[in-house]
Amino acid sequence: MKSAWDLVRGHERPKAAFEHAIQSGRLTQGYVLSGPEGIGKQLFARGLAQVLFCQEPARDSLSPCGECPACRSFLGGAHPDFHFVQRDPGKRELSVDKLLGPKEQRGRTGLCHDLSLRPHEGSRKIAVINDADTMNDEAANALLKTLEEPPERAVILLIAGNYDALLPTIRSRCQVVRFDPLPDDVLSELIIEQGLATTPTEAAALTALANGSLAVAKHLAAPACRDLRQKMLAALSQKQWNGIGVARDLAAAVEEAASDVPEQRLLATWLLRAAVEFYRTALWRVVHPAVAAPGGIVEAVKWIDSLPLDTDAVVDWLGSLIERCLQAVGHLEQNVGVALCLEAAFADLARPMPGTTPVRK
């Protein structure tokens, strides 16, 4: 890799804004890179840092040379004038220790101290503060002092998922650069590249739920979530199954896999969308028996092939099952409880096709 930009996807607008600022000599000292989690703000900050360090960058674009000593030491992770801090894993806040050093060494280490020193190599120092929106007041006030009198030629990039959570005094000393969620095509590509999905259909289903965030897609594609999906597909593939029982198992597993309610809703929605794909694959199989469904779900083909059904009626039936799943997705969006929503939906999905077997009472 010659350039940290190579890892950045999309974000042409902020890129153009920085290009313009650099070319016109109007780079300021404090920026907030603001936008949803998991869209590449941190990669962007690193790309920008390399350009600013590079001794022979291209004049008309944000392209570092990749060869000069500054580029080499940056890409090797050893540039002495690059400073990066973030919240410790498992912690809710970014503590003041990161900025001022631990208690016993207050002011003698930490980011603010490092920035106050002269640059070792190049002519500037660059600091990236990840999770800046989680700084507690003490940390924010420490940073504020540095932002009020920034060391000469220091550039401070704050990364914030929630811009409004930053102190107004910090916001007023930085220029905000807003980042959009990743476009669907870019996110789908990343999902396939990173092995989060193997088929375009699976990638599209993840993309549809991930709100333009690779972090959300990763969460949904985690092994626990995948197992959940497999469990559901196995149930849907049975000739007879207990809808409410399966729904209860799934709801319990969703609760275990996701810690908060919005996340649980997201997971349940993802499951229902996978159910939609299942029935769509089956529908495709009925309508185009000779052509494999693009990215179809194997279990769905086996399932529909095992049912001796007449075509017209089955098309209507599958259509109604798809509709039922989408209706449940709508209920989740309206904040209906996850367990209730899954139970009602799966009870309906598990009913035999009308007219095929007597309805059990």
The neighbour count for residue 248, using CB atoms within 10 Å, is 15
192 touches Zn ion by CB under 5 A? no
* Choice between 68 and 209, CB closer to Zn ion: 68
Residue whose structure tokens are 């709801």: 251
The neighbour count for residue 16, using CB atoms within 10 Å, is 12
The amino acid that residue 157 corresponds to is L
Segment near Zn ion (CB under 5 A), from 46-54, 148-156, 218-226, 330-338? 46-54
Which one of residues 68, 208, 215, 353 is an interface residue with Zn ion (CB under 5 A)? 68
Rounded to the nearest whole angstrom, what is the least distance from the CB of residue 152 to Zn ion in the complex? Answer: 22
51 touches Zn ion by CB under 5 A? no
167 touches Zn ion by CB under 5 A? no
* Choice between 69 and 354, CB closer to Zn ion: 69
Max Cα separation, the chain? 83
Torsion of CA 157, 161, 164, 167, to 10 degrees: -40
Which one of residues 33, 62, 71, 275 is an interface residue with Zn ion (CB under 5 A)? 71
24-40 in b/e burial notation, b at 16+ Cβ within 10 A?
A: eeebebbbbbbbbebbb
- DSSP assignment of 303-353 equals HHHTS---HHHHHHHHHHHHHHHHHHHHHHHTT--HHHHHHHHHHHHTSPP
CA-CA distances (angstroms) from residue 30 to 21, 156, 305, 319?
13, 5, 62, 54
Which one of residues 10, 30, 35, 64 is an interface residue with Zn ion (CB under 5 A)? 64
Report the distance separating Cα 276 and Cα 273, nearest Å: 5
Segment near Zn ion (CB under 5 A), from 5-13, 34-42, 62-70, 127-135? 62-70
* Choice between 55 and 327, CB closer to Zn ion: 55
47 touches Zn ion by CB under 5 A? no
Which one of residues 39, 49, 54, 271 is an interface residue with Zn ion (CB under 5 A)? 54
75 touches Zn ion by CB under 5 A? no
Which one of residues 22, 43, 65, 336 is an interface residue with Zn ion (CB under 5 A)? 65
Rounded to the nearest whole angstrom, what is the least distance from the CB of residue 53 to Zn ion in the complex? Answer: 7
Query: Residues in the site for Zn ion, rule: CB under 5 A?
Result: 54, 64-65, 68, 71
